[in-house]
Amino acid sequence: MSHDFELLGRLLLAAVLGGAIGAERELNDQPAGLRTHMLLTTGACLFTLISAYGFGGNTDPSRIAAQIVTGIGFLGGGAIVRDGLTVKGVTTAASIWATASVGVAIGAGSYVLGVGGAVLVVGTLFGLRRVDDLIRRWGVSRQEFLLEAGPGFDAERVVDLVRSEKAGLRRLERQEDDGAIRIQLVVKLPPRYRAERLLDALSHLEGVRQVDWHR
């Protein structure tokens, strides 16, 4: 009976650690948040416990754990979506994958590894965001803009503007629908160049009706 309570304690600890990781995703308004990550660690931990203790002493406890790694890949893939020319959700998918490993570690009784892994995941998601912002601020950053213009708008004007701002043009797609022209623009901005400056310049081009900036 005491052993069962110990295993239940592992489940609770896995849920708490998954919740800590999911809370960061929830605060950043990501599709996979608190409940998703708690369910991930709880499920991964429970599968590991069943694999290790549910079928007697003659079974291989690594078999179910190995399938968890494969199965989580499909779940994480659902968090990745394409938005315009950018791909979003990769960090959330990676956190889902890493969170599952925390549940497996706790289920296997490796408390130090489980807690340490959860701390590293949360630290990476929380702490390194500022480092990433600093790198983008001082280094070359990739930005995407979506322009809507009136009939007859010449996309070469956008190209000339980007070059005049010393930015690198990475991609330009032009679509025309019912007289309206939509241009998807991907640029590499110089170090310490504020994207708002290019946004303002694009907005003031004659014929441009609206400019959306995808951060």
Dihedral sign, Cα of residue 119, residue 5, residue 34, residue 44: positive
Q: Are residue 159 and residue 100 in the same domain, yes or no? A: no
Q: Are residue 21 and residue 109 in the same domain, yes or no? A: yes
Dihedral sign, Cα of residue 131, residue 133, residue 137, residue 142: positive
Q: Are residue 22 and residue 114 in the same domain, yes or no? A: yes
Domain enclosing residue 168, as ranges: 141-214
Return the amino acid letter for 91. T
The CATH number assigned to the domain holding 152 equals 3.30.70.260
Q: Are residue 97 and residue 30 in the same domain, yes or no? A: yes
60 three-class SS = coil
Q: Are residue 20 and residue 91 in the same domain, yes or no? A: yes
Q: Are residue 7 and residue 100 in the same domain, yes or no? A: yes
Decide if 97 contacts 71 (C-beta within 8 A). no
Of the three residues 101, 119, 136, the one that is the final residue of a domain is 136
Question: Alpha-carbon distance 13 to 9, whole Å?
Answer: 6
Per-residue pLDDT of the chain in tens (215 residues, 90 and over written 9): 577 778 888 888 888 888 888 787 777 666 667 777 887 888 888 888 877 776 665 666 667 767 777 777 776 676 666 665 555 677 777 777 788 888 888 887 888 888 888 888 888 777 766 666 665 565 557 788 888 888 888 888 899 999 998 888 888 888 887 778 888 888 888 877 888 898 899 988 988 888 888 76
Q: Are residue 150 and residue 182 in the same domain, yes or no? A: yes
Number of separate domains in the chain: 2
